Amino acid sequence: MRTWILAAVMMMGLSAIAQPGDSRREKKLTPEQRVELQTKKMTLELDLTEKQQKEVKQLLTKKSNDREELMEERKAKKEEGERLTSDERFAMQSTMLDEKIAMKKEMKKILTPEQFEKFEEIGEKKQEKITKRSKNLKKHDRE
């Protein structure tokens, strides 16, 4: 009986030690690194030319810088304890959609029609994956 209890306690201790910490936050990539990786992934997926790579990298860098600024603003407001009003939330979502539309227009200018079609398909697959993941999370939260 004692051996079973001892074994159970040891296994619980080992499993607690084996759990990874919050290492994702510690190993956060810089915006430049994220842009570089995104550009390389798009080059592999869409077979971009050198010129297209440069243009995409510039576009992604601008988008990344804007996102970082927005995140800093939201973080500051959150630390102050401010909550968004419905009008602010609407404005934020509207701005995000405007930025998506602008991004899509720019990508359409940079990419060939075939590449843009593939870019759209990849975006749809990512969105489906995100939707599926969020549904699974909500499902587990209810249980």
Q: Which amino acid does the sequence have at 17?
A: I
Least Cα distance to 28 among 60, 66, 71 occurs for: 71
Domain spans, the chain: 29-123
Model-wide pTM > 0.75 = no
Query: pLDDT (tens digit, 9 = 90+) per residue, 54-104?
Result: 999 999 999 998 888 888 888 888 888 878 788 988 998 999 999 999 999
